[in-house]
């Protein structure tokens, strides 16, 4: 294992050395004369009138979370779908279907809850 | 894995019924809440209590397996041990519901999400006590914790509640990560996730490996976090203090009991490695007791005082766990060792129940006397003169305080007696001495509450809320605490028998 | 009646508790609560007379035994018994019970119902402690005593009542938790909590030392033995009169009773080895208590310190490890219960009239309250051990037993030092009497009413008992002696095997009753 790793290590080491070298060189050789105008955010355009950290409306987070929740749950459908054929072959189709039915039912309850609680309305 | 086990759901359904009732009941409560917008929500509390009663009835009706069995292909145990904790959890959840509802009614503002979350938290606790598989252990911890995170933070608009929820969430996520890492290492060693296989692999493992002790340590850290063992206790005071009183009661009793149940199964599962950690665990136990008691001495809020005291009580319970672990180390015969282990296990179960009774009683008094959710009866000075204003409530709180301090003839004394007895039997006399010194320390701050209630005149802001449900519940709990203090024999026998029948 | 007499000990122990429940349930007005409590205490006294009537003299074993399995499959039992030592202490308790309630008749004016209930509950716990023959049961009663006393001091006490109550509680608990561990350790060795099984334990000397230390600490704090006495003056001064009387009259005896019943017979070798230390502490306590009492400004505090001194005598008697000395100890316990109890009652009476207890405030009271002064003088003389009154019998037997003890190194020196305590006791008591009752009557003390009929009713029974105990202690001693011999048998067994110790040459037989009889013959 170690013999194969040597070239990789050499590449990594060289890259690190080189980048440090250039950074150091530019800092050493380059002139550094700051003034207030140079320190502004932009050297052209209109000055920023408010804080640059934009406050998103909290609804965006809510929607994002709900999307993630319901979207991720569908991932569980895939392994089930793949296994379903073999389960049918074993004669346990009803069980497999029932399992997924229960799973989806829980999701539906959650969906209905969110809906009725107004989680899907914008205002 | 053991290969595809044919799952015979039909046969297991009656035994699974308590869990199913809670799960389906929780969903039902959610739906009912969703479709009853705007109106009063007291029907939700009624429905929640019915679901909990249903779960208890289902547990009662479940066929008793004389020597226990596993469910769902080894995922859960259906033994006396899980039955014991299921009934305890349901009782705790019912009391919590009563307290919460009485608070909501006083406020006129209902917090509807409390009810399904409590049901799901209870479900998680029950699963945690019954888990006999690494996977179900983790799922149970998460089910319980997620519900409790939200419950803690649920007092919307209260900065302290949000802070508590956030802290608990972040640190809880840490603990979960530790747990997952430990479980993964165990799985890597055993090649299977059910406890029986892990146990076999652990027994067969050669000595000197680093992986198994590491895995065991990680699992202990995670469970130590849940039971508030020093040094994983940092969250406890802030979270117990910031959470609403009714949730704090649930956390101090239900979460703690479930975590100890899981711990008892796990240390039973990993004896040789757990023994490797024994000296460290002993030191941590001593620190847990001492730290909790020392810091509780200087608290001015009842909730915060109870939070620190709950750390100390976790220490007493860990003493019992040490007694379980220590059996069979010296030259005692196997029969004697088993007897001591059963005594210690029974003592832990007994203490958990007693602790739940007296702590829920104390939090019940807080709930009873709070004017509203914003003005909880927290400041100890606000209890001044309570014995004149509300002699009955004051008397119950006095009983709970004496019991927490371990003064006879209360159940708290008997619980401590059984624990210390087991510790002495296991040959750990110095630890027992340290334990009694600690209960001495604790007497001081429990007495302080009684001093304020009985010996100080009321002045300034005093707590004067009122709720007859909470007062009645506290009365019943105080009676139970006294009853278990005088005739604990048969209940202790039940606890010891329960522990003896524990399977994994 | 058989229903009562078959379980007479349970009835004696729990009748006050039943009374407490009754008071709480039915004592709606203060008057009703007081009368109900008094009734319960009187019933209890009558029940305890049954014990005296049917006690089998000459039998040192436990009588009226009751036994019922309690925990751990009967290894821990509800086990009660009564021997000569317990008999007298129980009688002292039931005798003082009604008097204490009478004394609180006017002094406790608020929350009467709770006060009465606590007094009665305390009585149950105390009687239970004297009767328990199972170690866990004993411990439960022992700790349960704390709660009512804590409330009595803390709610109805004086200015610094909270401090005194908490100090009392924590001090006592410090000792008892170590005793709990010792009990648990012995339980593990003996396999049962029965006192009889504990007595069968074969323990090495080292083990005995530790266990004895744990037990003795609990009892020494309760006695209180110097230097563990600091809680006592606080508790006494702050407690209401009724609490002080119980504290001095009975509660302090728990410590000496525990030493006698448990610490000495369970760990005889350790008692032999460590007893001298305790005896020295006791003698230091005798002298120290007396010296400190001498400079007190507060009558109640003076009486409190005199308790330290008197209880020192008891401990000295017990650790003479002779039957005579131990009998003297028990008699002194009773005598102290009567005389100091009476002193606290008298101090309470004068405090009710003047709301101060400072000696400097008084003077010449004998002119204003001649009967009160006479009673006070009588009790003072009893307390300092005037022959013919109760204090003398106890002190005489203790000094006699200690002087002749072959088990106590420097026994004669100890006796001599203790005897100076008697002299000091006479000095501070009589000096206090002189300052309070003789001399010129101050303006503010003029016109103080003399003893009321209720106060006479409280004091008279005690005065009678003080004389009875002093003049005719034989009935007491003959019931006491066999039990004491039985209790001290483990030590006596050692005396025969260990050649280093022996009965001092030239001493008469170790028979307290005979000693007293001889004394009378000489007189």
ipTM (interface pTM): 0.85
**Phi and psi, residue C385, nearest 5°:** 85, 40
Confidence of residue A47 (pLDDT cuts 50, 70, 90): low
Q: How far is B198 from chain A (nearest CA, A)?
A: 26
Q: What is the pLDDT of residue C284?
A: 92
Cβ distance A106 to B37 less than 8 Å, yes or no, reads no
Report CB contact under 8 Å: B420, C180: yes
Asked if B455 and C180 come within 8 Å (Cβ–Cβ), the reply is no
Residue B113 is assigned to a structural domain of this protein? no
Calculate how close chain B gets to A37, using CA atoms only, in Å: 42
Residue numbers in chain B where pLDDT is lower than 50: 1-6
Domain containing A8: what range? 2-117
- The shortest CB-CB distance from C173 to any of B424, B443, B488 is to B443
Q: Nearest Cβ partner of B447 from C72, C136, C169? A: C169
More confident residue, B37 or C348: C348
Nearest neighbour of B27 by CB, restricted to A95, A109, A115: A109
Confirm whether B254 is domain-assigned.
no
CATH of the domain at A31: 1.20.58.1610
pLDDT per residue as tens digits for the range C64-78: 888 888 887 788 889
Within-domain flag for B468: yes
Given CA atoms B165, B170, B171, B175 in this order, what sign does their dihedral have? positive
Q: What is the DSSP secondary-structure string of B299-349?
A: --BHHHHHHHHHHHHHHHHHHHHHHHHHTTSSS--HHHHHHHHHHHHHHHH
pTM: 0.86
Specify the number of domains making up chain B: 1
Judge whether B265 lies within some domain. no
Tell whether A90 is covered by a domain: yes
Subunit contact C139:B488, Cβ cutoff 8 A: no
Q: Do A113 and B34 touch (CB under 8 A)?
A: yes
Task: Provide the number of structural domains found in chain A.
Answer: 1
Percent over 90 (pLDDT), chain A: 20
Picking from C166, C174, C177, the nearest residue to B447 by CB comes out as C166
Interatomic CA distance for residues C97 and C16, integer angstroms: 9
Let me know: does C132 contact C62? Beta carbons within 8 Å.
no
Of B27, B33, B34, the CB nearest to A106: B27
Strand locations in C323-399 (E): none
Instruction: Give residue C501's pLDDT.
Output: 38
- Residue whose token pair is 């460290």: B280
- With beta carbons less than 8 A apart as the criterion, state whether B496 and B343 touch: yes
**Token pair 């041990």 in the structure block, residue:** B81
Whether residue A123 is contained in a domain is answered as no
Substitution target in C24, C140, C164 with the highest count of B β-carbons within 10 Å is: C140
- Please give the Cα distance from B313 to B3 (Å, whole number): 43
Give the per-residue pLDDT at B2. 39
Residue C71: what are its φ and ψ, rounded to 5°? -135, 170
Q: How far apart are CA C520 and CA C515, in angstroms?
A: 9
Looking at residue A11, what is its pLDDT?
92
How is residue A15 written in tokens? 């890259």
Whether the ω angle into residue C227 lies within 30 degrees of 0, i.e. cis, is yes
User: C25 touching B, CB under 8 A?
Assistant: no
Estimate the share of chain B in helix, then strand, then coil, as percent rounded to the nearest 5.
Answer: 75, 0, 20
Q: Convert the pLDDT of each residue in C432-487 to its tens digit.
A: 888 888 888 877 878 788 888 888 888 999 999 998 888 888 888 888 888 888 88
Average pLDDT (C55-59) is 84
Inter-chain contact B30–A109, Cβ cutoff 8 Å? yes
**What pLDDT sits at residue C361?**
83
Q: How far apart are CA C281 and CA B435, in angstroms?
A: 29
Interface of C with B in 64-83 (CB under 8 A): 70-72
Asked, for residue B183, whether it belongs to a domain, the answer is: no
Q: Which residues contact B319 (CB under 8 A, 6 or more apart)?
A: B285, B289, B419, B420, B423, B428, B431, B432, B435
Rounded CA gap, B101 and B108, in Å? Answer: 10
User: Looking at the domain assignment, is residue A67 inside a domain?
Assistant: yes
Cβ separation of C139 and B408 shorter than 8 Å? yes
Shortest distance, CA A106 to any CA of chain B (angstroms): 8
Q: Would you call C184 and B488 a contact, using CB atoms and an 8 Å cutoff? A: no
Q: Is residue B404 part of a domain?
A: yes
Asked if A113 lies within 8 A of B31 by C-beta distance, the reply is yes
Q: Are B87 and B56 in contact (CB under 8 A)?
A: yes
Question: What's phi and psi for C59, nearest 5 deg?
Answer: -105, 120
Look at residue A27 and tell me whether its pLDDT is greater than 50. yes
Q: How far is A52 from chain B (nearest CA, A)?
A: 26
CB C193 within 8 A of CB C76: yes
Structure confidence at residue C57 (pLDDT): 84
pLDDT by residue (tens digit) across C2-35? 777 788 888 888 999 998 988 888 878 888 888 8
| Residues B269 and B220: beta-carbon distance below 8 Å | no
Lowest mean pLDDT among A55-64, B464-473, C237-246, C513-522: C513-522
pLDDT band, very low/low/confident/very high, at C189 (cuts 50, 70, 90): confident
* Contact assignment for A95 to B7 by CB distance below 8 Å: yes
3-state secondary structure of C70: strand
Whether the CB-CB separation of B403 and B413 falls below 8 Å is answered with: yes
- Chains touching chain C through at least 3 C-beta pairs below 8 angstroms are B
Chain B residue with minimum CA distance to C173: B440
What residue in C sits closest to B484 (Cα-Cα)? Answer: C71
Band of pLDDT at residue C504, cut at 50, 70 and 90 = very low
The encoded tokens of residue A14 equal 């060289």
**Encoding tokens for residue B339?**
């007897």
The answer to the question of residue A102 being in a domain is yes
Task: Judge B/C contact: 3 or more CB pairs < 8 A.
Answer: yes
* Out of A33-47, C275-289, C382-396, least confident range: A33-47
Q: By mean pLDDT, which of C8-22, C131-145, C393-407 is the weakest?
A: C393-407
User: For position B3, what pLDDT does the model report?
Assistant: 38
- Any domain includes B244: no
> Is there a contact between B31 and A112 if contact means CB atoms under 8 Å apart?
yes
| H helix runs in C405-446, sequence order | 411-437
Contact B224, B284 (CB under 8 A): yes
The answer to whether position A122 is within a domain reads no
The pLDDT value given to residue A45: 65
From the CB coordinates, do chains B and A have 3 or more pairs under 8 Å?
yes
- Interchain CB distance below 8 Å, C71 and B424: no
Residue B459 lies in a domain: yes
Residue B444's domain comprises 277-504
Round the average pLDDT of chain C to a whole number and report it. Answer: 86
pLDDT recorded at residue B96: 94
Alpha-carbon Rg for chain A in angstroms: 29
C422: Cα within 13 Å, side-chain hemisphere? 22
């Amino acid at each position: 294992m170690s013999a194969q790793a040597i070239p990789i290590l050499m590449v990594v080491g060289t890259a690190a050395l080189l980048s440090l070298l250039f950074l150091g060189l530019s800092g050493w050789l380059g002139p550094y004369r700051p003034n207030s105008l140079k320190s502004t955010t932009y050297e052209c355009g209109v000055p920023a009138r408010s804080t640059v950290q934009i406050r998103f409306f909290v609804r965006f987070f809510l929607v994002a979370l709900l999307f993630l929740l319901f979207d991720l749950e569908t991932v569980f459908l895939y392994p089930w779908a793949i296994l379903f054929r073999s389960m049918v072959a074993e004669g346990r189709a009803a069980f497999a279907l029932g399992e997924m039915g229960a799973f989806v039912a829980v999701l539906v309850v959650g969906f209905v809850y969110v809906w009725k609680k107004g989680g899907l309305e914008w205002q | 894995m053991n290969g595809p086990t044919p799952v015979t759901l039909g046969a297991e359904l009656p035994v699974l019924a308590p869990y199913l009732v809670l799960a389906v009941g929780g969903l039902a409560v959610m739906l009912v809440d969703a479709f009853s917008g705007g109106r009063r929500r007291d029907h939700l509390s009624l429905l929640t209590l019915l679901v909990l009663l249903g779960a208890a009835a289902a547990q009662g009706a479940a066929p008793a397996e004389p020597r226990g069995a596993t469910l769902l292909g080894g995922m859960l145990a259906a033994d006396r041990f899980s039955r014991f904790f299921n009934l305890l959890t349901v009782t705790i959840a019912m009391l919590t519901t009563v307290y919460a509802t009485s608070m909501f009614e006083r406020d006129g503002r209902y917090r509807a999400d409390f009810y399904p979350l409590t049901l799901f938290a209870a479900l998680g606790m029950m699963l945690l006590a019954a888990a006999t598989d690494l996977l179900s252990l983790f799922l149970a911890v998460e089910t319980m914790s997620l519900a409790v995170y939200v419950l803690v933070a649920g007092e919307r608009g209260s900065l302290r509640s949000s802070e508590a929820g956030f802290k608990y969430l972040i640190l809880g996520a840490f603990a979960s990560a530790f747990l997952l890492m430990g479980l993964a290492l165990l799985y890597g060693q055993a090649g299977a996730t059910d406890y029986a296989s892990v146990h076999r692999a652990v027994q067969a493992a050669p000595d000197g490996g680093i992986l198994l002790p590491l895995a065991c340590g990680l699992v202990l850290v995670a469970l130590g976090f849940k039971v508030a063992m020093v040094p994983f206790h940092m969250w406890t005071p802030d979270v117990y203090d910031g959470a609403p009183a009714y949730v704090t009661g649930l956390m101090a009793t239900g979460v703690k009991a479930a975590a100890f149940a899981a711990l008892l199964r796990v240390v039973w599962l990993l004896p040789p490695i757990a023994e490797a950690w024994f000296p460290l665990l002993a030191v941590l136990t001593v620190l847990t007791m001492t730290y909790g008691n020392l810091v509780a001495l200087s608290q001015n809020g009842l909730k915060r005082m109870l939070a620190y005291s709950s750390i100390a009580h976790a220490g007493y319970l860990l003493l019992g766990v040490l007694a379980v672990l220590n059996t069979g180390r010296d030259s005692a015969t196997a029969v004697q060792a088993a007897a001591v282990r059963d005594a210690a296990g029974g003592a832990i179960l007994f203490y958990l129940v007693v602790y739940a009774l007296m702590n829920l009683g104390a939090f019940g008094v807080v709930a009873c006397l709070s004017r509203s959710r914003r003005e909880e009866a927290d400041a100890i000075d606000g209890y001044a003169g309570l014995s004149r204003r509300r002699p009955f409530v004051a008397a119950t709180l006095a009983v709970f305080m004496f019991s927490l301090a371990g003064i006879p003839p209360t159940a708290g004394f008997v619980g401590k007696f059984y624990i210390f007895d087991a510790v002495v039997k296991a040959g750990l006399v110095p630890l027992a001495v340290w334990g009694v010194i600690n209960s001495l320390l604790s007497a001081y701050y429990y007495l302080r509450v009684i001093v304020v209630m009985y010996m100080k005149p009321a002045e300034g802001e005093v707590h004067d809320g009122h709720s007859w449900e909470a007062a009645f519940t506290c009365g019943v709990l105080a009676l139970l605490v006294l009853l278990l203090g005088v005739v604990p024999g048969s209940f202790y026998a039940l606890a010891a028998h329960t522990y003896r029948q524990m399977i994994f | 009646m058989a229903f009562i007499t078959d379980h007479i000990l349970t009835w004696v122990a729990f009748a006050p508790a039943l009374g407490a429940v009754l008071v709480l349930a039915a004592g709606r007005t203060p008057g009703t609560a007081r009368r109900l409590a008094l009734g319960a205490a009187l019933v209890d006294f009558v029940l305890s007379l049954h014990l005296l009537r049917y006690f089998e003299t000459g039998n040192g074993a436990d009588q009226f035994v009751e036994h019922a399995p309690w925990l751990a499959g009967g290894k821990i039992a509800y086990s009660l018994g009564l021997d000569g030592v317990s008999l007298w202490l129980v009688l002292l308790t039931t005798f003082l019970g009604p008097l204490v309630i009478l004394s609180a008749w006017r002094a406790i004016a608020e929350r009467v119902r709770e006060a009465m209930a606590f007094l009665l509950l305390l009585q149950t716990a105390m009687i239970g402690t004297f009767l328990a023959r199972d170690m866990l049961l004993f411990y439960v009663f022992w700790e349960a005593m704390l709660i009512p006393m804590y409330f009595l001091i803390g709610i109805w006490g004086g200015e610094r009542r909270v401090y005194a109550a908490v100090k009392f509680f924590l001090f006592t608990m410090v000792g008892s938790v170590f005793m709990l561990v010792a009990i648990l350790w012995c339980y593990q060795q003996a396999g049962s909590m029965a006192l009889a099984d504990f007595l069968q334990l074969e323990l090495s000397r080292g083990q005995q030392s530790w266990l004895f230390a744990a037990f003795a600490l609990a009892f020494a704090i309760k006695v209180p033995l110097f230097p563990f006495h600091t809680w006592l003056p606080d508790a006494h001064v702050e407690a209401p009169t009724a609490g002080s009387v119980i504290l001095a009259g009975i509660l302090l005896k728990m410590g000496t009773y525990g030493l006698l019943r448990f610490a000495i017979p369970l760990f005889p070798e350790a008692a032999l080895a460590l007893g001298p230390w305790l005896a020295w502490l006791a003698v230091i306590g005798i002298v120290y208590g007396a010296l400190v009492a001498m400079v007190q400004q507060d009558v109640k505090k003076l009486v409190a310190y005199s308790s330290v001194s008197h209880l020192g005598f008891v401990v000295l008697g017990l650790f003479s490890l002779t039957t005579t000395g131990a009998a003297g100890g028990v008699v002194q316990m009773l005598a102290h219960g009567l005389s100091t109890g009476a002193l606290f009652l008298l101090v309470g009476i004068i405090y009710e009239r003047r709301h101060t207890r400072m000696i400097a405030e008084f003077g010449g009271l004998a002119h204003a309250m001649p009967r009160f002064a006479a009673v006070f003088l009588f009790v003072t003389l009893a307390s300092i051990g005037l022959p013919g009154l109760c204090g003398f019998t106890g002190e005489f037997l203790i000094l006699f037993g200690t002087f002749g003890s072959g088990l106590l190194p420097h026994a004669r020196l100890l006796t001599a030092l203790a005897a100076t305590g008697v002299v000091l006791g006479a000095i501070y008591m009589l000096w206090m009497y002189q300052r309070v009752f003789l001399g010129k009557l101050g303006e503010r003390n003029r016109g103080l009413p003399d003893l009321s009929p209720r106060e006479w009713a409280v004091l008279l029974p005690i005065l009678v008992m003080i004389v009875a105990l002093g003049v005719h202690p034989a009935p007491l001693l003959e019931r006491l002696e066999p039990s004491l011999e039985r209790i001290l048998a483990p030590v006596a067994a050692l005396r025969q095997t260990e050649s280093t110790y022996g009965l001092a040459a030239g001493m008469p037989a170790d028979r307290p009753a005979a000693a007293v009889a001889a004394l009378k013959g000489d007189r």
